[in-house]
Structure 1
């Protein structure tokens, strides 16, 4: 039996409280950025660092909730799977790119030819029959 399928989906009160706290910390950082505008004499770079610190704190608080643990687990599994991927070599990538470019050019010429034929059929033959 798969234990992952039986995990509860709902968040408990502690998780909700932590998520609310994370949102409040982020909102406080954004509010402080706008409150201490350039009129207060604080440079924009310092205000931006404050927002980044608030963002990091909010992410850290959110990481210790149930959804945060699931996201961390997902990212860990994603990194593990990325190590399994066999990436193409430079030569394979260049050859594949070249083939795709040739196919795109051929298809665009073919579609242009079809458009030219249909235009001549409609404008020259069908419209002249009506006059």
Structure 2
């Protein structure tokens, strides 16, 4: 899986925007103005940071050596995921959950604006 596949998958979701707010390397994807995925484009192997349910985070970290607490982020809720060696379905499931957690945290008005675009 490469960065373009992940980017295309994310951009197909409603209300997603992309930017480089931190530097010229770290792509940040947001929904409703809130981050749900970070991807350092120059890092190999490819890595993404995603938000996950804390209970699932603990399971993932035990089961997969590629999943760890995200550097410089709340490690209870955010994971750094090295995509090498992980199934595509799992990576998409992680992205989906991150998007849903952030989308569900938005105000009712913000959610409706995104849905009605």
Specify the structure having the higher radius of gyration (Cα): 1
TM-score (norm 2): 0.29
Report which structure shows greater RCO (CA 8 Å, sep ≥6).
2
More strand by share: 2
More helix by share: 1
TM-score (norm 1): 0.26
